[in-house]
Amino acid sequence: MKSIYYLTIVFAFFCYNKMWSQENVIHVKTLTKNFYGNGSVAVGLDGTVFVNEYGTANPDISGSGTRIFSVTEKGEVAIVSEKVSGAVGNALDSEGNYYFNNGNSYTSSDFMVLKDGKITKIATLEGFSGDILIDGANDFFYITSYTHPAIRRVSKQGQVEDYAKDERLKGATGITFGPDKDMFVSNFTTGKIFKLDPKGSIEELASIPIVYPGYVIGYITYFEENLYATGYGSNKIYKIGMDGEVTEFAGSGEYKMEDGTATKASFVTPNGIDIDTKNRRLYISQNGNGKPASLRYIDLPKK
């Protein structure tokens, strides 16, 4: 009887471990194919995903895209607007208002809000603007810049000031809050990720491997003590701990679109990324180098 009892316990333990390991295997999946949303990603409170169509770059690096898309959790695509110009960066506030940078070029960009179906300009910023971070408690927006070594702080009334200035910030695209209101910024051209404390002091947290010089890292998002970053040039997704440790999270590095487990799946210039915290799901856009790609997602294991 004892031997049967012990065998039962061992078998149950084996089955539990197998189920646990299967549930915690990372898989990359496709939400919708032939998708033209190749820019920044923002997830709403209801799980709706918003993606800009930057399009392809013109000589002044302005984008050719004209649309903003919304995508449901089931992959149903709708056009939110088709009257924008190479929209870059996006953010949603608690009321569902959608913010983005329009008409980006070497010269200038317009910081806009889409509210109640109407697009309104908040401010014009010098140079090519990147992603947008909302500080809801203080009614400010923080915006990175590809062409200027500064993070801009913009009020809802359109007042613009430099929040942090540093040559290392030139080329920055992604921006997100981490723990304790620390801010993290990713540099598209150098692959560096910087940490800024609430006083604006800057220190380097990590560096993403450079595979394609000048096209290293797209956007970043934060979830449960880790940053997740798109390896634009390496075709991989990286996880970065708060101690600066960089690990390859997903992607074989091959330039193709293939679903599967983290190490076998592949991407085509992954670019935008954001987290649906409620459903523990990462959404990832792909640039596609001028061709429609796919909107991908990764369900994160439960703790």
- CATH number of the CATH domain containing 252: 2.130.10.10
pLDDT at residue number 256: 93
| Domain that residue 98 falls in | 2-299
Q: How many domains does the chain have?
A: 1
pLDDT at residue number 11: 45
Would you state the torsion angle of the CA atoms of residues 265, 266, 267, 273, taken in this order, to the nearest 10 degrees? 30
Chain segment 187-226, per-residue pLDDT in tens: 999 999 999 988 878 999 999 999 999 999 999 999 999 9
pLDDT at residue number 12: 41
pLDDT at residue number 136: 83
Q: Parallel, antiparallel, or unpaired for β 129-135 and 293-299?
A: unpaired
Nearest to 186 by CA among 223, 155, 232: 232
Could you list the mean pLDDT of each consecutive 10-residue stretch along the chain, which spans 303 residues? Answer: 48 40 78 96 96 95 96 96 96 95 95 96 97 92 96 96 95 95 96 92 96 96 97 97 97 96 96 97 93 95 85
Tell me how long the chain is. Answer: 303
